[in-house]
Structure 1
């Protein structure tokens, strides 16, 4: 019997005065835009992973304020991703931050910029626009909706 193992990831919607923080990166030989996102490391909480991935992919320290939701997508290669999306605000840029391999740098975009990037097929994942659309629709949950027994919650 084959055991199904989805990939657990985090992503963030970081917003400030009508702009969203994204990352510009190389993926499969092309330049794309994505939410700050990545895999959760062993022993790491979801929220800690969201902070870390945002810093590693944008060079920005952020304040994670809400859990937005779980987005599930199976890629053409057959890998299923469970993306836990968080909402946050920027604190400050870290100009000396070491960005992950393949990351070009941070990009601040408006909603219209995001829609244009979608039309131009510049987004890395089909999960990007739904996350931002849900943010615009006010979908959010308090962080204490997450119970992390390994971290001593409750």
Structure 2
């Protein structure tokens, strides 16, 4: 058997000092967890297409990626799964309040850093805060470094 990591994408979106996060249910018996709009890369799509799709599906916002913030390799001991996360920064527009979000998403909201720090025990993974820290530190890589061939 060949081991393969789960490839995921995440959107780090900041407006007026607040970050767009989603509250999502991982299982019915647990409290909703905080995450960036994020999800898995699907067959046939580029990483940029995936992060735009996931952001729309989870928040109702149209996301335009401008930069790659970082690539993160993380192993979750909770489910014994390794993730390779590509985090993008950019801007959102065209919010559709009537957009039907994924069933696991409780809500999408804007959070200031003090709130994010206060709720750290509800972060879906340590990557939530790390991606925000890297974005806040000015880490930006041009999207042209990502190649997609069909």
Q: Deviations over 1:29-70 (max 9, x none)?
A: 321111100001100100000000001111111221101111
**Aligned-pair Cα RMSD in Å:** 1.0
Q: TM-score, normalised by structure 2?
A: 0.94
SS at match of 1:33: strand
SS at match of 1:93: coil
Alpha-carbon distance between aligned partners in 2 of 1:143 and 1:98, rounded to the nearest angstrom = 29
1:104-119 matches, within 5 Å, as 104-118=106-120
1:49-128 matches, within 5 Å, as 49-76=50-77, 77-118=79-120, 121-128=121-128
- The answer for unaligned runs of 5 or more in structure 2 is none
SS at match of 1:51: helix
Alpha-carbon distance between aligned partners in 2 of 1:95 and 1:143, rounded to the nearest angstrom = 29
The alignment covers a number of residue pairs equal to 147
- The answer for unaligned runs of 5 or more in structure 1 is none
Q: TM-score, normalised by structure 1?
A: 0.92
Do the aligned residues in 2 keep the contact of 1:61 with 1:93 (CA within 8 Å)? yes
Do the aligned residues in 2 keep the contact of 1:16 with 1:90 (CA within 8 Å)? no
SS at match of 2:10: strand
Alpha-carbon distance between aligned partners in 2 of 1:50 and 1:56, rounded to the nearest angstrom = 10
Aligned to 1:146: 146
SS at match of 1:138: coil
SS at match of 2:43: coil
